[in-house]
Amino acid sequence: MSAYSNTISRAVTTYKRTSGSGRPTLHKLLLHAVLLVFAVAMALPFAWMLFSSFKPLGEIFMQPPKLLPQDWNVEGYRTAFSGADFVRGFWNSTYIAVTVTAVSLLTSAMAAYAFARIDFWGSRGLFVVFLATMMVPGQLTIIPMYIIMGWLGWVDTHAAIIVPPALFNAFGVFLLRQYVKGIPLELEEAARLDGAGRIRTFVSIILPLLRTPLTALGIFTFLGQWNNFFYPLIFLNSSDKFTLPLLVNQFKGMYASDWPALMAATTLLAAPMLIVFAIAQRQIVEGVALSGSKS
């Protein structure tokens, strides 16, 4: 950080300290009260799901409802594990989500760079096409997709659900394009004067500066893949290839559901994402620190 901003920050801190000290404390209390109430409201349904996974059936629908189980019971988990190969499903979901995320981040960043920085023939029209793909419901395109996958021989393989989103991600391209446009051109000019080609510029200048949006995009891409249900449903037939959401949905029967097992399964599905987010959320904050802004 430059000396200049250090001076400023010290000046501001001093300024703050010398102003009235009573108000900040009351503000802080109110702030935390509001945040706490809403945090509880947001997390409560998830907590209910979590605790219900440890309840016997009778307690899940008990009136009046209680959050915590009276009769802690892992029957739900036992049924879930014996009914579905969660280890396998976990492995499938993980490697699919990681692969798609890693590859699509790269391909999206590349395309974003092209749209944002290279003045090429057809760029505007092509960008509109990218945007337009987001405006058609996915359920209608499933039949031609299935036929295409049939031609490729990819029905009942993971390739069918990895390759399309890894290669094409209009949303990611749109997002990253916005950020790339905000990077000052002088940087690239400087790099070019130093003799760097486009690829070098992309790798050394652009990508590092995209750390924040890449992290955010990565989280949501991973999440989207982790919870992806419709495409795996249609394209995967063999249960040893199923991803976690499919396994979880097994417990939701056509006419009657095995509630404890269902709650256990959905908790198992959600828990890893919570951990991933807990770790990754710091990246968003820290990623910005390197770009020169104070957080």
Residues 225-284 that bind another protein (CB under 8 A): 226-227, 229-230, 233-234, 237-242, 245-259, 261-263, 266, 269-270, 273-274, 277-278, 281-282, 284
Cis before 64? omega within 30: yes
d(CA 212, CA 280): 11
By CB under 8 A, residue 158 contacts another protein: yes
Among 69, 94, 102, 196, indicate the residue that binds another protein (CB under 8 A). 102
Instruction: Measure the CA–CA gap between 268 and 86, rounded to whole angstroms.
Output: 9
Q: Is 78 in the site for another protein (CB under 8 A)?
A: no
Q: Which residues contact 239 (CB under 8 A, 6 or more apart)?
A: 84, 85, 247
Contact 53, 267 (CB under 8 A): yes
Min CB(42)–another protein separation in Å: 5
**Of these, 3, 26, 87, 135, which contacts another protein (CB under 8 A)?**
135
* Per-residue binder mask for another protein (CB under 8 A), 22-61, x = binder: ------x--xx-xx--xxx-xx-xx-xx------xxx-xx
65 binds another protein (CB under 8 A): yes
Q: What angle do CA 124, 129, 131 make, to 5 degrees?
A: 95
The single residue among 5, 29, 74, 78 that binds another protein, judged by CB under 8 A, is 5
The residue from 9, 29, 68, 72 that contacts another protein (CB under 8 A) is 9
Nearest-approach distance from CB 21 to another protein, in angstroms = 16
To another protein, the closest distance from the beta carbon of 111 in angstroms equals 4
Instruction: Enumerate residues 180-199 that contact another protein by CB under 8 A.
Output: 181-187, 190, 198
Task: Kindly tell me which residue out of 20, 22, 125, 137 binds another protein, with binding defined by CB under 8 A.
Answer: 137
Taking the complex as a whole, how short is the minimal distance between the CB of residue 17 and another protein, in angstroms? 13
- Residues 225, 212: contact at Cβ < 8 Å? no
**Token pair recorded at residue 194:** 């130093």
Q: Which is nearer to another protein, 2 or 21 (CB)?
A: 2
Q: Taking a C-beta distance cutoff of 8 angstroms, is the pair 291, 214 a contact?
A: no
Least distance in Å: CB of 169 to another protein? 7
Which residues contact residue 265 at a Cβ distance below 8 angstroms, ignoring those fewer than 6 apart? 80, 84, 86, 247, 248, 250, 251
Least Å from the CB of residue 292 to another protein: 3
Among candidate residues 222, 205, 233, the one with its CA nearest the CA of residue 272: 222
Residue number with CB closer to another protein (68 or 106): 106
Among 273, 253, 274, 251, smallest CA distance to 53 is for 251
